[in-house]
A and B are shown apart, each in its own frame.
Chain A
Amino acid sequence: QITLKESGPTLVKPTQTLTLTCTFSGFSLSTSGVGVGWIRQPPGKALEWLALIYWNDDKRYSPSLKSRLTITKDTSKNQVVLTMTNMDPVDTATYYCAHNDFWSGSLDYWGQGTLVTVSS
């Protein structure tokens, strides 16, 4: 079955760079039509899409955060890494990774999420 799990720091200081890793199983990111996305959710607020990477290494970023985000994949390790620069307290959120089906645009399997707090 498909599973995903996010890992990374729970606390970062303002201006620091956040690096999150999504480790997955049950699928391969070299399979046509497969993607992995990152989504975040500030406490008590709505879901916000951040970035997507596809099987062919095509990448998509939220227009509002594009300058701060980088998404990469390591197919051999079944991992996707998201970096976000210049962290600010407003970036405090639960960060999720999810399996994406390119053809439907669906995020059909989600990780449990990891809470990242930005504070000095």
Chain B
Amino acid sequence: NFMLTQPHSVSESPGKTVTISCTRSSGSIASNYVQWYQQRPGSAPTTVIYEDNQRPSGVPDRFSGSIDSSSNSASLTISGLKTEDEADYYCQSYDSSNLVFGGGTKLTVL
């Protein structure tokens, strides 16, 4: 079984760009798709990125995803930060037997 490690928290100012990393502990990050979920307080998670870099309809193109095999990690980048982007973000992937979530990153937009 593998783990996904995220930074506990990040903060940035409105209008800036922030990147949240998600590092896979074993097995290749490229071998299984990575998803990113946004969770605002008191609400269920919603998908902002699926299949590494695809945005669901309705998610602004300020949100983008990528993977880097050299660091065995995935990244979520949010540009033109807005106060409404303040939330917890979780990466998620899987293998043949399990789904795995990262520990979540609290994004503060201040």
| Bound-state Cα–Cα, A113 to B44, Å | 7
Interchain CB contact under 8 A, A107 and B92: yes
Return the contact of A47 from the options B46, B51, B90 (Cβ within 8 A).
B90
**Which A residues are CB-close (under 8 A) to B63?**
none
Report how many residues on chain A are interfacial, defined by Cβ distance under 8 Å. Answer: 20
Interchain CB contact under 8 A, B47 and A106: yes
Interchain CB contact under 8 A, A112 and B50: no
Interchain CB contact under 8 A, A110 and B99: no
Please list the residues of chain B having a beta carbon within 8 angstroms of any beta carbon in chain A.
1, 32-33, 35, 37, 39, 44-47, 50-51, 56, 90, 92-94, 97-104
Please list the residues of chain A having a beta carbon within 8 angstroms of any beta carbon in chain B.
37, 39, 46-49, 52, 60, 62-63, 96, 104-108, 110-113
